Amino acid sequence: MFTILVFLSLVCGLEGADVVLSCSLIEEGGGMGGMMGGAMFKRTPSTLVFRDLVGNDGLSPELVTPYNPPETPNADDLIFELTLPSIQVPNADLLLHADCNEQEVVCEISRYVPRGAELDSLPAHFIGSVQLEGGGISLTLVLQTLHSETTQSDTQPLMQSKLNLPLSQSGTLRTEVVFVVFSRVPSIVAPIGGDVLLDCGFRQKNSVPGQDVALEWRIQHRGNGRKILDMKARETGADVGQDLFVDREGTSAEPDLLVRDGNASLTLRRLKVTDEGTYICTVGSGEFQTQQIVQLHITQPPRITLSEEKLTFQDTTPQKLSCHCHRYYPLDVQVEWFSQAPSEEEPVSLSKESSLSSHRQHSDGTYSLSSHLTLQPDKNPPGTIITCRVSHPTLETPSDATLTVDKPEPQTAFWTIVLMLAISVVFLYQAFKGAGGSAQEKKYTR
């Protein structure tokens, strides 16, 4: 992808009507190689101007900074002037604040041929892809060129040198949005076993009542892909009919919402690790079809336990302590060890003295890991706090498991046993002595 910064024609903190994006026109053939050694593409710098993005919201004219085209039109300039006359794109106003929020925008434009149209037919069509990095809106826009302004003179309009399309009097290529597929949450995190809604929607200008709306959801992950839902829905009077294919249990989309509200969102229930991946939402209606991408990240935080509840040194023998991290996802986990004796003000790291087991993967796709540490009694006197600290992407802050070294218990048990043995010996001696005296007495009596 070609990442650029967003340029807004307004003052930070104030809302405006026009947004100007620095984009790239993508054409096949020549230029830079595509990603992963794919097809060759040529990129030409271009500009995308959103006109009246916010609309009439009561702002005073002093707060609106309109876009001003070049004073002298240039046939080599690629300026796509975009209007939204009848399509309201949810959350598109987030583009107004991207510069103030220091967010980047990915903007690409390429030629598009609707169903049943020829490549050079008029009006011309383009695909505009606009993605707000770091969360926010992602748009795939179908742009249709508008007729140039009529003039009273016989002067021919200026033709754009690369596209061979007529430019407006201000040197821009005037277009309008006729179809858009969007996602307001293009990346989402969800836990194992939970449910999730993958947001996708569309808007269309001049849609024909009763026409089919086609929806397809696919998942791509680690080079493998498959279709998990295919739906064709149509409004027939008060009802909505559908043809449906589902390849995953617990997967659903709402046909009535798709047809009447443009809601193409997908619900996934009882999530598993295998549900993680890139989801492609493709919507087709009439002559237009385009798609949107939603990333789903599956997570599960680790459960952390220590192998011992109490730690006591009875002699100079070292003791082994283990920290177990149970059933987490994704794989990335970090385990650290610290000790803090009563005489120390700050914890001391023991991580270099520890060892790690290999990752163990369970049947549900989660992982477990153990870290082992051998503790010396002379370095860990009673009162020393031993801490196992675990970091994982699911944890906002590291999670700790701790124990305190106890004082050795008095060895009273040993002396109790010795005393009992002594008492037993004395008792047996007295018993045998008593038995011997009785026998002698009987002998003399005879």
The confidence score (pLDDT) of residue 6 equals 38
Going by C-alpha positions, the residue among 269, 271, 183, 264 that lies closest to residue 216 is: 264
Residue type, 374: T
Contact at 8 Å (CB) between 342 and 381? yes
Give the per-residue SS3 of 220-241: EECCEEEEEEEEEEEEECCEEE
Token pair for residue 290? 């385009």
Contact at 8 Å (CB) between 293 and 278? yes
Token pair for residue 45? 């710098």
The confidence score (pLDDT) of residue 444 equals 47
pLDDT tens for 189-243 read: 999 999 999 999 999 988 777 788 999 999 999 888 999 999 999 887 777 888 8
**Going by C-beta distance under 8 Å and a sequence separation of 6 or more, which residues neighbour residue 5?**
22, 99, 104, 105
pLDDT band at 420 (very low <50, low <70, confident <90, very high): confident
What's the rounded Cα separation, in Å, for the pair 22 and 73?
A: 18
pLDDT tens for 145-175 read: 987 654 445 678 889 999 999 999 889 999 9
| Alpha-carbon separation of residue 317 from 306, 320, 338, 374 (angstroms) | 20, 10, 20, 10
User: Residue 344: is its pLDDT beyond 80?
Assistant: yes
Q: Give the CA diameter of the chain.
A: 162
Secondary structure E strands in 104-223 = 104-112, 125-132, 138-145, 173-183, 187-191, 196-198, 201-204, 213-221
User: Residue 354: is its pLDDT beyond 90?
Assistant: yes
What's the rounded Cα separation, in Å, for the pair 180 and 128?
A: 9
**Going by C-beta distance under 8 Å and a sequence separation of 6 or more, which residues neighbour residue 13?**
100
> What's this model's pTM, rounded to 2 decimal places?
0.81
Token pair for residue 245? 């294919």
The confidence score (pLDDT) of residue 52 equals 73
Contact at 8 Å (CB) between 400 and 389? yes
DSSP one-letter code for 316: S
| 151 phi/psi in degrees, rounded to 5 | -125, 155
The confidence score (pLDDT) of residue 436 equals 55
- Ranked by mean pLDDT, which of 5-19, 154-168, 361-375, 413-427 comes out on top? 361-375
| Alpha-carbon separation of residue 271 from 203, 231, 297, 299, 374 (angstroms) | 29, 21, 11, 10, 39
What's the rounded Cα separation, in Å, for the pair 443 and 314?
A: 57
User: Residue 347: is its pLDDT beyond 60?
Assistant: yes
Q: Which of 56-65, 308-317, 347-356 has the lowest mean pLDDT?
A: 56-65
The confidence score (pLDDT) of residue 88 equals 77
The confidence score (pLDDT) of residue 438 equals 52
What's the rounded Cα separation, in Å, for the pair 350 and 339?
A: 7
What's the rounded Cα separation, in Å, for the pair 105 and 84?
A: 19
In what helix (H) or strand (E) does residue 360 lie, and over which residues does it extend? Answer: strand 360-361
Burial class (CB in 10 A: 0-12, 13-18, 19+), 134: exposed
Q: Which has more confidence, 249 or 40?
A: 249
What's the rounded Cα separation, in Å, for the pair 138 and 105?
A: 10
CA angle 179, 182, 187 (to 5 degrees): 165
Token pair for residue 166? 């007529």
**β-strands 224-236, 138-145 pairing:** unpaired
